[in-house]
Chain A
């Protein structure tokens, strides 16, 4: 190994060691903060009465500020951090308010909501303005990892390509056979296991793309089909739709697949056959004819949702579309600026939380929330360009934000009858512990990775080192940061 390589390796190793420590600190601290937040919220929710929703909110707010403190000390992208924490605080406020209304039968006025929101934003902004002066530079270095037998990550990656699909199968089997539904009850808590399918799916693709294996599309499709089978059996169409959207995003933007004409024709034929099969099954369901059990389970719900989507104007109050028709009334009642008159909607705290938000705060405010999600996504995707050298980080980073934004889009478009309704939860806003846990985990990933920047200046330094054949051992020290 020549001198340049030695220097290269020493510099890189030092940087890597340095970052490992910070990495550990960062992730540990943010994990602690988020988990503490999560458990506190759960305790308040289950132990105390409705009033403590406000107290829980106050505690959440304090700890959220601590989270912002840590992340801004260790740098990161301020705007994304603020948006994420705003959505987190706002979502929990909305969730607590709706719970308060439903339990104490007392309506909280729009003024209170606006005040809470402004106080929250005011504190966030003021603290972040203060912390702007702190040096935000963190240099991170990743070695480009090739397929090397001595490289531990390679072996781990190979293992992940097997373990992760098996994990999905196990989750699916537990849901279908043990739980016979979507929830697993442990010690008085209900865990929605389908929520774990999303991070597993994203992790699989991150490893797949990172390892740059051949036939990525094939393995990715197999993983999607495994999840699709179980989700169809469970009639959990919302999660399936989100996974499909994530799969399409990864396929189009990450995998650089080249599909031959033959494969394209075959895929098109399969897609058309699938659609024809679905239509035939739904027509049979409509006319009351018998269909295979799997098809009946999978398509009955889709057929009902189509019925609601097509016939919302003529649905009577006792029909299956009662939720959707009440949601429509709630949106109309909310108008642009919201209303203190509440339109009752079944399960408004989870599936129809966005519609409840429109009812109370109006379309303008609800669209601002929607736009916040979109802005955050665009910012994160743009920042992901910085991780071009490490596909694993890039994919996992983007996958985390897609796990937040796609369920939001699918839920919002479904509950407002823009698309077929699906019962998927909006991250942060919908009531549900498992959804909150996964959303917070994804937020942690996003905020953590925002602290990691591949500095162009260091790349330049590396290029200098490798191109300079005359560099001596004593010179390398000036390249150490």
Chain B
């Protein structure tokens, strides 16, 4: 080793040091604009610094009952029950954001004046109904949606998994490894779009009524052919001469296939799209997507859509909205979950309001179909004291069925769905009764 080599080595080290110093300046966003991705991280860090000094705002139900309430800055409040976990969600630096906490992070952490308290979110959810709905569908791949007919307020919105595992918003870190193992665990069933089955028939019926098919007699032979595809009724039953009323009460597939095919693709498509089916619907807590895929459908598939099969895909919220529209004399409202968002100084930064999506049918059509559904409910043997209108649906999926029970009374619409099950829609009747009992208690108390 000689002096020349020592100089070369020393210069190499000095060069590496200088290069590393410049790199650190670039990498660390010390100089703004030098490294855009580091600048973004710096911005998000400064936001998170602010959030660490803020007490997360509370989330309350429609009556001011606490769902979450934080006590200390930087630490999210505990959720009172797993019934709300998917709604409330979580905000975690490692596992990301989910639910209302993710969507309304900015509001929940926005302070007013000198207070370090975030804004409060007041939901339209009623705790007692939510808990009843949650307990009704436990251990199933299910969902319950409860919408107030005249306002569009969502009184209950729950989802469940048939694995038996519930999302616990208070223990995400502990449960994450198990959560990862269950495919689609963090996609709530109210966002899952599958075939609606016969629960679509009330909507199709309103279209047929307005088109003047109410009194037309259809000679049902138990089979209906469309483009070499044969459609049958459930149980291969043949009902003989039937009208629209009979078709709804007995859920006659062939009737709906026949008249859907007769009316045609464009009328049906138009009717579906008027009912917010076939596109993305942005709600104040999530976006739900439904589709009819009519541009890529054969005649048989379009005819099948008439009784809720084919390529028609709808979420439980879409199905519930149909019931709400029929109960509301044909006027479909946009469901909303958030009544208001209020800052700690009393200033409202958001107020939920009733919003009309559109009129899906005439008032007469709505009333007619409601009466048919009342008769259907009686035929199912649902407790008549509840005074419900109902329609079952059992859609065939690639694996088992989707069981649907859509119902409404003069105040609320309830849609109970169970996916990938061996059950039929009628088998959801006990769950329906459980939920309606709580709903009636709530309204009877005059709250």
Contacts and interface: CB of A to CB of B under 8 A. Distances in A.
Given A332-B45, A416-B23, 11 more contacts: A253-B1, A253-B5, A317-B95, A332-B38, A336-B30, A341-B52, A363-B24, A378-B9, A382-B10, A384-B1, A398-B1
B96 A385 contact: no
Contacts of A317: 93-96
Given A253-B1, A253-B5, A371-B17, A313 B37 contact: yes
B64 interface: no
B6 A331 contact: no
Contacts of A318: 94-95, 176, 180
Interface in A330-377: 331-336, 341, 343-344, 358, 363, 367, 370-371, 374, 377
Interface residues of A, number: 42
B45 A333 contact: yes
Contacts of A405: 13
Contact of A388 (B1, B23, B94): B1
B339 to A, nearest CB: 33
B5 to A, nearest CB: 5
Nearest to B21: A367
A413 B20 contact: yes
Contacts of A343: 45
A191 interface: no
A268 B25 CA distance: 36
Nearest to B37: A313
25 contacts: A254-B1, A313-B37, A317-B95, A318-B94, A328-B27, A331-B24, A332-B28, A332-B38, A332-B42, A335-B28, A341-B49, A344-B93, A363-B24, A374-B13, A374-B14, A378-B9, A378-B13, A381-B6, A381-B9, A385-B2, A409-B16, A412-B20, A416-B23, A417-B27, A418-B20
Nearest to A312: B37
Nearest to A382: B6
Contacts of B1: 253-254, 384-385, 388, 394, 398
A44 B180 CA distance: 41
Nearest to A249: B9
Interface string B104-129: 00000000000000000000000000
A322 interface: yes
A388 B94 CA distance: 56
Nearest to B52: A341
Contacts of A22: none
Interface in A48-95: none
A331 B28 CA distance: 6
A358 B38 CA distance: 15
Contacts of B45: 329, 332-333, 343
A358 to B, nearest CB: 8
A409 B16 CA distance: 9
Contacts of A335: 28, 30
Contacts of B234: none
Across the A-B interface, the 9 shortest Cβ-Cβ residue pairs: A378-B10, A317-B94, A253-B5, A331-B28, A313-B37, A332-B42, A374-B13, A253-B1, A374-B17
B24 A416 contact: yes
B29 interface: yes
Contacts of A344: 93
Nearest to B39: A332
B165 interface: no
Interface string B70-114: 000000000000000000000001111000000000000000000
A381 B13 CA distance: 11
A162 B109 CA distance: 68
Contacts of B262: none
A365 to B, nearest CB: 12
Contacts of B24: 331, 358, 363, 367, 416
Interface string B30-57: 1000000110011001000100100000
B3 interface: yes
B48 to A, nearest CB: 9
A363 B41 contact: no
A343 to B, nearest CB: 8
A17 to B, nearest CB: 29
Contacts of B14: 374, 378
Contacts of A322: 94
Contacts of B42: 332
